[in-house]
Amino acid sequence: MRRVASILGSLLLTTAIVLAGPAAAQAATGTLLVNGHPVENPSGCHEARAWPMTVENRTDRTAVLYSGPGCQGVALGEVGPGAIVAEEFAVSVAIP
């Protein structure tokens, strides 16, 4: 009986992950300006070309600033929809 419950639980978890996956990977709608460079309907990670990093978020999603390249390192802050943030130590920004 435990084995059946375990298999059923695994199946339900796998189904939930598969169904939730595409929604999490969707791009934001709008434009993200990273140091003045526009990124239309952004998703994933974008790196700064100069410092300090300035992000203007004209999308419908919150962007997250990171201290390292490839959106690694410490999350330094968020840039909500309609906000502009300049962060001296940010190297990359992600739309999760």
| H-helix or E-strand spanning residue 67 | none
What does the pLDDT average to over 52-79?
97
CATH of region 27-95, choose from 2.30.29, 1.10.150, 2.60.20, 2.60.40: 2.60.20
The model's pTM is 0.72
Q: In angstroms, rounded to a whole number, what is the distance separating the alpha carbons of residues 64 and 26?
A: 16
Backbone φ and ψ for 47, nearest 5 degrees, come out as -100, 150
What does the pLDDT average to over 27-49?
95
What are the extents of the domains in the chain? Answer: 27-95
Alpha helix (H) ranges present in 1-96?
2-24
For residue 26, what pLDDT is reported? 77
Is the predicted pLDDT of residue 46 greater than 80, yes or no?
Answer: yes
